Homo-oligomer: A and B are copies of this chain.
């Protein structure tokens, strides 16, 4: 059996959640996230983000979260700005466009958007009304699709440019835990939340079984949001399953402990790979890393480990993606580094 570094959702669910599912199993609870676990989970999340006016909604997946939040905030002729590397631009099969909205892309080589780029795109679209879409929402992800994270001043700059231009700022937090527990992170969850109109907190990729938690800070969008959820098929009868998970995650600090473990395992891999003399495609402090190896070494490692070959760099070398998770085995990490040293 190969050990998989392919993604952060290869294993099931953190044992504490399994236990919570089990102990609550035969209780009768209301449907559609009106159960006591969902209600408690929402209270915990509001406390963690320090915004008692926020509303929290649970649903089953990240693409669904992105498309529903974005479509709920835009009028038909409005568009969303995203980095070319953004998940919504590439890996969601045109889910945003399928809701009728254009994505204005900005080239990014580190997965992040800059305030000045946003200003430029907004300005360009003022040239010829009404012949051009009007950007109205900025989509960012943290950590990004290539493992990088935003620094506090970068997020403040994004928030400022959005406010100045009447844009909403939305964050895809599929790997938010990993971002906030990264060694180089300098922003707290409440500080981050305060800069955003909405974001989602990823559960699936951080030890959950299934489900994500959408947080809406902007009060304009709260009351009608359940209609959007239902219309897109995201309001689920047995909503308790989401509540039970997120209550475990946030009633203490489990969510961050799991992410911290994933980051530490990635860091250990990074250190070992660097020590062995290899470089990286991006400078990632989170649980996705992109080392560059010669083809033969990739083939050799592939005998014992599963991972994606991310990008061919030249005829002799490629970057691979290694992903760690809450469940990553330290022995496997040590094994990988050991095997790498044997390749030399």
Contact = CB atoms under 8 A, between A and B. Distances in A.
Nearest to A67: B233
B76 A228 contact: yes
Given A12-B26, A100-B100, A233-B232, A133 B93 contact: yes
A94 B98 contact: no
A15 B22 CA distance: 8
Contacts of A60: 60-61, 210, 236
Given A209-B241, A232-B232, A238-B204, A227 B129 contact: yes
Contact of A130 (B99, B132, B209, B230): B230
B21 A233 contact: no
Contact of A75 (B91, B224, B229): B224
A182 interface: no
Interface residues of A, number: 77
A274 to B, nearest CB: 26
A117 interface: no
A102 interface: yes
A3 to B, nearest CB: 7
A142 interface: no
Contacts of A77: 93-94, 98, 224, 227-228, 230-231
Nearest to A90: B132
Interface stretch (A27-35, A151-159, A184-192): A27-35
Interface of A is mostly: loop
Contacts of A46: none
A93 B229 CA distance: 9
A61 B62 CA distance: 15
B25 A15 contact: yes
Find the residue from A61, A97, A132, A236 having the highest chain B CB count within 10 A.
Answer: A97
B61 A233 contact: yes
Interface string A100-123: 111100000000000000000000
Interface string A175-186: 000000000000
Contacts of A7: 31, 237
B102 A230 contact: no
Contact of A231 (B6, B29, B76): B76
A230 B93 contact: yes
Contacts of A133: 93-94, 97
A331 to B, nearest CB: 13
Nearest to A237: B9
Interface in A43-75: 60-68, 71-72, 75
25 contacts: A10-B29, A10-B30, A10-B31, A11-B27, A12-B21, A12-B25, A12-B27, A12-B238, A18-B25, A60-B210, A62-B233, A63-B230, A64-B234, A77-B230, A91-B128, A91-B132, A92-B230, A92-B231, A93-B131, A94-B100, A94-B133, A95-B230, A97-B101, A129-B227, A204-B237
